[in-house]
Chain A
C-alpha cells in the first residue's frame, strides 16, 4: 500500500458492455462516491467517470508503469480480448497503438490487488458465448478453468489471486463492499471461494429469500413466463445453484430477477453464458430436471419432490400457473391462533 490513508484505484474497461459501472452508479445508502470516500479510495482514472482523456490518461498509466504512482487496486470491467489469433487486435487501446491485453497484464503485475468486476472480467462471461469469436477470457480464469490472461499461478503482492466480483451485471453493493474491504487491507485468501469470489457474495444462493419459496417447497411450478409459480421445473431457473444474495438484498430498490418474473440464469457463475439449453427452459431427463439444487443428492430430491407434489395445496397449484394470486390463503381461525 502507499502509506497514506488513500488507496489508488485504476479502473479499466475492455471486452464488456460497461453495465457493471452503470450498475455501480445505482448504489444506494450509500451511493458509490460516498462509499469510495469513506473507504479512502482515490480514483486515479475511470473511463466513464473521470475528466482525463487522451494524453492525460496515457500520463497516468505511464506514472504507474514507471513507479511514480503506487497502484493499490486495479479493476478491470469486461473480458480480456486476445483475438484474432492471439494478437489482441480486437481491442487496441485507443491512442496507444497497443493491445489492451498487454496494458492490462503490465498493470496487473504492478498492482497491489487486482479485481475482476463482473463475470466478463472474472471468467470471460457473455463475451465468450457462441464459440467465443473474440477469443475473450477473464483475468484469472478462462470460463471455469484457472488461467486466463494472468495465468494459473497469479498472485498479487499480498498473496491473493484475482478477486472476482461476479454477476452480469454486478450488484452495486458487491463492488462497494469488496473494494472497501480490499482498500482497508482486510481481504485475505480465506475470504475467497474456489473461483476467487468473496464468500460475502458467493456464500449465499439466489434461492435464499426467494419470494416464490412456498411454490418451490411444493414443486408448484410456473409453465410460462409471467406466471407466479416456481420457475425451476420448467423455466430454467437456477436460483438453487447460483451464488448471490439477490433475493435478500434487492436490486434497484425492490427488484430481483425472480421478483421481476423471469428465471435466475446463474449470471454469477463461470460458464453461465453457455447453459447447453435455452436460458428459459429447464433440461430434463425422464421428467426430472438435470440441474439439481446445490448439495442435494438426486434420489432425495426426487423423493422429496414427488412427496411435496402430492401434498401441494390447491391454492399453490392454481396460483402457480396464474399471473397473480387467484386463491388467497385460508384463515381457519381469527387472530392467527392455531
Chain B
C-alpha cells in the first residue's frame, strides 16, 4: 500500500486536499480535507437579524445568490412572512441565472480542462478537446465569457450586481420590474438561448430535456459528429473513458427543492435511495463532528448546532463537519435534484449505472435545458403593476430554516433569533454533504466513497481519475466550511 496527498486541488472554489491510500493501481481509502476555516457561524452570532442578508452571501462568491435565498427564507420563516408573488418570480429568475452560469462555469472552466492533460495525448479525440478546452487558452473559454457575462446582465438589472447582491429579501426583492424591463430581459434570455442551442447543446433545449433514457441520449449524440457541440464532445470523451463507470457514491440522493411555485418547487424536495422515492424529514438532519477539528459531543440538529473550532482535535482531519440524514450519508447536487424530481433520463442513468461522473455532468445539462424555458415563463408571469416586496418586523424571539438548492446541491440556513438579534446561525452547504469526513459510525462521506476504486496509473502523483471524480461533484470549498 502507498499513500498520496493531492493538493492544492484547484478549480474547486477554494482549497482542497485529498489523502489517498493506494493498493495496486486502485484507491483503497480516501480522506477529504477541507483546509480553510473562516468562522461565519461565529461571526453572525449577536448581529442584528437583518445583517445575515449582508454577511451570509459573502460566504461564497459562486453560490452567493443561493446563500442570499437561504438567508432570506430563514428570516422569512422566522417572521412568518410570505413573499410578494412578483418577488418570488424575480428571486427564481436571479437564482436560475446563477445556477445556469455556475453549471457552465463548472463545465467549461473547472471540469473539462482535465481532459487536455498530457496523459491523454494519444487519445484520438485529444487534439480537438485540447484546442477547445485548454485552461485559459482554449477557444471555449474565449467563446463562453462574453455570452455568460451578457446573461449576467439579467442579474445586473434585477439585483444590481453579481455576486453579493442585497436585492433578495425575506418579502421579495428591492427593485420593481416594469413591462419594458420584461421585454429587455426576454431579449437577453433569447440571445443566451441561441448561444446554448448553437454551441453548447447543438439542438433546441426542449429536444434535449425531452430525452427519456440513456438509449435515447446515445441516439441523440450519434445524430451529429461530436465536434458539432460541446455537449456531444463531452459525451464522446465520456464514452471513450468510461466516465459512467467511475465515481459512484452511496446512491442516496437528497434535494431541498428549488424554485418555489404555487405547487411547491419546480424541482421537487425529497429523498431518493435504492428503494425509491422517500419523504424528506429535515428534522432528522444532524451534523457529526467525529472527524472534524471541532469541539463538542453528539451530533446536533442545526437549530441546536455548535461551531467550536479546535485545531488540536486528535481524531480530526478536516474543518468540515459531517451532515447526515437519519444518521446516514446523502449525496446532493444536480443529479440528486433531477432524480428526486424524477426526470426520466436522470432516473435511467441511476437505474443503469448508479451515480457516476458522467451522470453528474449530464444532469447539469438537463437542468440548463429545463431552466431557460422556466425563466421565460417566470418573466411572462411578472405583473408589473403589483408589489414586489412584503414587509414585516423582525420578531423578538423566533427561529426559521431557509432551505434551497445551489447549483451544487442542497443549502440550508438555520437561524434562531433572541431579543431581535441572532442567537445562533448554522449553515450546511452542498459540499459539506458531499465532501464530509467520516462520522462517529465510521461512515465515509460521498466523495470518500466515490474515490474508492479509482485508477492510479503508474507514476501518477495527482491521478487523473481522482481529478475527474472530485470535480464531477462541482465542489465549492469556500461553502463547505464557512
B463 nearest CB across to chain A (Å): 10
* CB under 8 Å from chain A, chain B span 77-132: 105, 109-110, 113-114, 116-117
B159 nearest CB across to chain A (Å): 5
B residues less than 8 Å from A56 (CB atoms): 462
B residues less than 8 Å from A224 (CB atoms): 391
Pair B62/A259 contact, Cβ less than 8 Å: no
Q: Tell yes or no: B33 within 8 A of A by CB.
A: yes
Which of the 9-residue segments A22-30, A108-116, A152-160 touches chain B?
A22-30
Q: Tell yes or no: A254 within 8 A of B by CB.
A: yes
Q: Tell yes or no: B228 within 8 A of A by CB.
A: no
The closest CB in chain B to the CB of A36 belongs to: B136
The closest CB in chain B to the CB of A262 belongs to: B166
Pair A51/B116 contact, Cβ less than 8 Å: yes
Q: Tell yes or no: A53 within 8 A of B by CB.
A: yes
Interface residue SS majority, chain A: loop
Q: Tell yes or no: B383 within 8 A of A by CB.
A: no
CA distance A274 to B149 in the complex (A): 32
A residues less than 8 Å from B60 (CB atoms): 17-19
Which of the 9-residue segments B37-45, B257-265, B279-287, B321-329 touches chain A?
B37-45
CA distance A48 to B55 in the complex (A): 23
CA distance A323 to B384 in the complex (A): 11
Pair B478/A17 contact, Cβ less than 8 Å: yes
Pair B10/A57 contact, Cβ less than 8 Å: yes
Pair B6/A261 contact, Cβ less than 8 Å: no
CA distance A93 to B34 in the complex (A): 10
Pair B59/A17 contact, Cβ less than 8 Å: yes
Pair A14/B43 contact, Cβ less than 8 Å: no
Q: Tell yes or no: A70 within 8 A of B by CB.
A: no
Q: Tell yes or no: B368 within 8 A of A by CB.
A: no
Pair A84/B161 contact, Cβ less than 8 Å: no
Q: Tell yes or no: A15 within 8 A of B by CB.
A: yes
Q: Tell yes or no: B215 within 8 A of A by CB.
A: no
CA distance A51 to B35 in the complex (A): 20
Answer whether A130 and B462 are a contact pair too, CB < 8 Å, given A17-B59, A22-B62, A257-B166: no
Pair B61/A129 contact, Cβ less than 8 Å: no
Pair A250/B156 contact, Cβ less than 8 Å: yes
The closest CB in chain B to the CB of A253 belongs to: B153
Chain B: residues with Cβ within 8 Å of the partner, total of 86
Q: Tell yes or no: A136 within 8 A of B by CB.
A: yes
A249 nearest CB across to chain B (Å): 12
A residues less than 8 Å from B164 (CB atoms): 19, 168-169, 267
Pair A225/B389 contact, Cβ less than 8 Å: yes
Q: Tell yes or no: B273 within 8 A of A by CB.
A: no
Choose one: B9, B61, B167; the contact of A53 (CB below 8 Å): B9
Pair A253/B311 contact, Cβ less than 8 Å: no
B residues less than 8 Å from A21 (CB atoms): 61
Choose one: A15, A136, A250, A261; the contact of B173 (CB below 8 Å): A261
B residues less than 8 Å from A13 (CB atoms): 14-15
The closest CB in chain B to the CB of A280 belongs to: B50
Pair A133/B156 contact, Cβ less than 8 Å: no
Q: Tell yes or no: B169 within 8 A of A by CB.
A: yes
CA distance A168 to B64 in the complex (A): 12
Q: Tell yes or no: A73 within 8 A of B by CB.
A: no
Answer whether A54 and B175 are a contact pair too, CB < 8 Å, given A14-B36, A252-B152: no
B residues less than 8 Å from A261 (CB atoms): 160, 167, 173-175
Chain A 197-240 interface mask (CB, 8 Å, partner B; 1/0):
00000000000000000000000000011100000000000000
CA distance A226 to B388 in the complex (A): 8
Pair B110/A22 contact, Cβ less than 8 Å: no
B454 nearest CB across to chain A (Å): 15
Pair A95/B5 contact, Cβ less than 8 Å: yes
Q: Tell yes or no: A164 within 8 A of B by CB.
A: no
Choose one: A48, A94, A100, A279; the contact of B17 (CB below 8 Å): A94
Pair B146/A31 contact, Cβ less than 8 Å: yes
The closest CB in chain A to the CB of B54 belongs to: A279
The closest CB in chain A to the CB of B293 belongs to: A89
Pair B113/A51 contact, Cβ less than 8 Å: yes
B residues less than 8 Å from A241 (CB atoms): none
Q: Tell yes or no: A81 within 8 A of B by CB.
A: yes
Chain A 45-88 interface mask (CB, 8 Å, partner B; 1/0):
11111111111110000000000000000000000010010010
* CB under 8 Å from chain B, chain A span 117-141: 126-127, 129-131, 133-134, 136
Answer whether A260 and B175 are a contact pair too, CB < 8 Å, given A253-B150, A254-B156: yes
Q: Tell yes or no: B162 within 8 A of A by CB.
A: yes
A residues less than 8 Å from B387 (CB atoms): 323
Q: Tell yes or no: A313 within 8 A of B by CB.
A: no
3 smallest CB-CB distances across A and B, nearest first, come from A260-B160, A19-B61, A94-B7
Q: A residues engaging B (CB < 8 A)?
A: 13-23, 25-28, 31-34, 43, 45-57, 81, 84, 87, 89-96, 100, 126-127, 129-131, 133-134, 136, 168-169, 224-226, 250-263, 265, 267, 273, 277-281, 323-324
Would you mind naming 6 contact pairs between A and B with Cβ atoms under 8 Å apart? A16-B61, A53-B6, A54-B9, A136-B38, A251-B156, A279-B53
Q: B residues engaging A (CB < 8 A)?
A: 5-11, 13-17, 33, 35-39, 42-48, 50-51, 53-55, 58-62, 64, 105, 109-110, 113-114, 116-117, 134-136, 141-142, 145-146, 148-150, 152-153, 155-167, 169, 172-176, 178, 309, 311, 319, 387-389, 391, 461-462, 467, 478
* 13 additional contacts (CB under 8 A) given A94-B16, A226-B175, A260-B160: A47-B11, A52-B10, A81-B36, A90-B39, A225-B169, A226-B176, A253-B150, A255-B160, A260-B161, A261-B160, A278-B48, A278-B51, A281-B48
